Structure 1
């Protein structure tokens, strides 16, 4: 009955009904105000599947397809399936059972690739039952094979690692095709990502006002506009929105201010050039840009010779500026500007509004006033901690993004009920946990 209830909620697009209704009741009872400040952060969600390496993935994909075919058309499958397949795919494909040498593993991958191609050929044949094409496991096999194999040759060729599609496109498990592999700093996981937003107005309970779940590979920068859209629909759009670096970009900051009137606050991604990291070279901030004349001036007064507007690899507009070799080659401080043996210095800038916003924001975030203001964002860490220790949002209980999203929405509603109860009963906030070592007084 619970399974059917979840399915009806998802089919009717009613996943947020309980969550939204609770927020509306809190607004009506003056427990939640509009505008003010909001905090947002994300955390990983482990998918309800086994983490697979590439060999396990293709083996399990074939196994899942064969099991589905054995249920849907057992006589048809038994009429042509090679006898060795029952031994190869009759049990779970696990790495410790697989060959260990590189040559043997390549041979295994090639054999599995050929087996998968045979299944797809048989399913597409005229004598195959039409229903087989609609089986989810067969569709997954059809999607995984071009990702893991080059199918242009006469037989499937195992792709090299650098030939694989991006993690955002690549299926990580045949049992949950919406799971994705991701890395965030030192954390690696396969699954999803949950974004929690809370209102932090004064003298009010800090309630979760938005929750969203994406696949793990989705960039945080893409989430600000959808979050603001939903908050606006609930009349909960903040004046100030505090986020971490993952959500920040100059274009995102400008769009939030222009489209919604929201001041987005967070550390801008740092300049990753070697000049900025060395803290002694000439990074972008060291060059004066003349936007009207469409040129740039280096720290020693040389004027750039080329100004080209183009798109970067992600389709974003950029401006590429190149200085003259006549100026760069004899420059006595060339080593602080470029490591090229002969080529002159290049600059790659965002459009004027984004570039100036980026530079100004990087300067502001170094001030004491900005750091004190941004310190309020630490409160969202407590929200994530409570959500992990309570409803355990870091573990997906179901498979598929819609069901995981439903789980997280209900978890957020439960957090709000707990926080309203704590507010009405004057329950004080828990203190930040500290280890025994941290709490140990240090003797002078």
Structure 2
């Protein structure tokens, strides 16, 4: 399927007449076409199509249809029906009233082309570029970021269900590729045991019977894996992806000690976040935030928050559910820098900040990372007595530390914490600490001397400056801007289905989140161009009756 770009034509007179007659005030789709007659162009998608082959459907139209689809929370079939039946969509797409449309599977193929071409951000990036040309979004303003959970499209399975369903799914996939080979390998009991989904049968209740079933499934699985590894196995089995998934599951949940099969107890298993939850989506992981648990993914949303412009989503990043937020901060800045949309101030919560990011964001990107930093963790600080690190004087040039009693450290060496981040370790003399009358206020360890452990100078200064800034009322007032991102997440969840993945896999789920962000931008930019002010936080009629304190 090839692409030969053509210029975007004019809207037919009849389509425009009927659309304006039917919608006197216009619709979002119509206003978008009137304001941006070329929001997407065929040239934007040139790299995703070969130069030879059957002509493809016009990609700029498919891109717009995809945005409209997520704007109205439609399925592929409903979106294809809307192209045939909706007058305002025909107006936005430049189609004749009699245009028959296309089969809904074309939308699936278009999304697959974006995923395979690693162009999942293309719809949002291109949209933001067109908005920049109109001056509707700008760099070096204020932006904010927060994250929310995304439930996977498949359910997570109990351990016994997981191994049983993994083996059944592997047999199903092998049956489609090498049916004759599998027919000669499978004993009659397998057809009874794995001929239907695990949840369709009733699992044993007693612990002994469940473990016996787990060992039975494990033995069957190893019999299959041994046959797959044999020299006589057909070469085609190497193309079955589910076989690799099964190997991972068996490696985690089973052990063969001196030829004896063993079902691993939970205590021997890796952390639940590192294990597979379902063979049908190996990239879906378990995570927990405060008291909420889920299996799926996590999405980070970054948007502008300047008072004099529309609040538009500038970046979306979907990642594994258990990935820490701090690991995403630098990547967000890198992506914004590539789009020339870096903010001057970036408002985040404490999960996105550490000392290294405070320094790196400023040095590498000129971004002031604004947010609360974690407090001091020493027992002296929490007890409100004794000497924590703030009571010590650090001489950076002389590489020594002076304690509150005037004693000077005798060693200074570079170190690293458990995550590999650089730290400095300074120790005091045994003779100074051993004879000190204030030793009980300084250290609770049984060692004869005190040591202090702190960040390198740039990070140390940035961390302390952030802690001082947190107590400034003016900063607290400016930081209120971050709260607005909660409304964006609420809009994404309630109006666009952001927390439920439609698709299986990280890449497809990430594309869904990008399409949702682009749909949110369409809604916001049309409201902005129509002169509609941003709505304030809604108050229910009953809550409005409450007396003012």
TM over 0.5: yes
1:434, CA displacement in angstroms? 4.7
- Aligned twin of 1:59: 164
**2:131, 2:137 within 8 Å by CA — same for their partners in 1?**
yes
1:150, CA displacement in angstroms? 4.1
Q: Deviations over 1:170-202 (max 9, x none)?
A: 332211111121122222211111111111223
Q: 1:298 aligns with which of 393, 400, 403?
A: 403
Q: Deviations over 1:318-339 (max 9, x none)?
A: 2233445555556555555444
Structure 2 unaligned blocks of 5 or more: 1-104
Q: 1:327 to 1:91 in 2, by over 3 A?
A: farther
- Aligned twin of 1:426: 531
TM-score, length basis structure 2 = 0.74
SS across alignment from 1:79 = helix
1:104, CA displacement in angstroms? 4.6
1:85 lines up with 2:176 in the alignment: no
Aligned length, in residue pairs: 444
What is the distance in 2 between the residues matched to 1:131 and 1:242? Answer: 52
**1:192, 1:214 within 8 Å by CA — same for their partners in 2?**
yes
What is the distance in 2 between the residues matched to 1:431 and 1:388? Answer: 18
What is the distance in 1 between the residues matched to 2:435 and 2:215? Answer: 56
Q: What is the aligned-residue RMSD (CA, Å)?
A: 2.8
What is the distance in 2 between the residues matched to 1:412 and 1:97? Answer: 43
Q: 2:445 aligns with which of 326, 337, 340?
A: 340
What is the distance in 1 between the residues matched to 2:161 and 2:305? Answer: 46
What is the distance in 1 between the residues matched to 2:370 and 2:499? Answer: 26
- Aligned twin of 2:420: 315
- Aligned twin of 1:72: 177
Alignment of 1:37-436 (within 5 A): 37-94=142-199, 97-150=202-255, 153-161=258-266, 163-166=268-271, 169-324=274-429, 326-328=431-433, 334-341=439-446, 344-434=449-539
Instruction: Work out which structure has the larger RCO, using CA pairs closer than 8 Å and 6 or more positions apart in sequence.
Output: 1
**2:358, 2:463 within 8 Å by CA — same for their partners in 1?**
no
Q: 1:113 to 1:285 in 2, by over 3 A?
A: farther
1:17, CA displacement in angstroms? 2.5
What is the distance in 2 between the residues matched to 1:20 and 1:129? Answer: 45
1:376, CA displacement in angstroms? 0.8
**1:285, 1:359 within 8 Å by CA — same for their partners in 2?**
no
**1:40, 1:242 within 8 Å by CA — same for their partners in 2?**
yes
What is the distance in 2 between the residues matched to 1:103 and 1:307? Answer: 58
Q: 1:174 to 1:344 in 2, by over 3 A?
A: farther
What is the distance in 1 between the residues matched to 2:255 and 2:494? Answer: 45
SS across alignment from 2:496 = coil
SS across alignment from 1:372 = helix
**1:319, 1:350 within 8 Å by CA — same for their partners in 2?**
yes
**2:303, 2:314 within 8 Å by CA — same for their partners in 1?**
yes
Mark the structure with the bigger radius of gyration: 2
- Judge which range, 376-385 or 314-323, deviates more: 314-323
**2:178, 2:236 within 8 Å by CA — same for their partners in 1?**
no
SS across alignment from 1:408 = helix
SS across alignment from 2:185 = coil
Q: Deviations over 1:292-332 (max 9, x none)?
A: 34343333444444434233322222223344555555655
- Judge which range, 310-319 or 343-352, deviates more: 343-352
1:153, CA displacement in angstroms? 4.8
- Judge which range, 44-53 or 302-311, deviates more: 302-311
**1:210, 1:231 within 8 Å by CA — same for their partners in 2?**
yes
TM-score, length basis structure 1 = 0.90
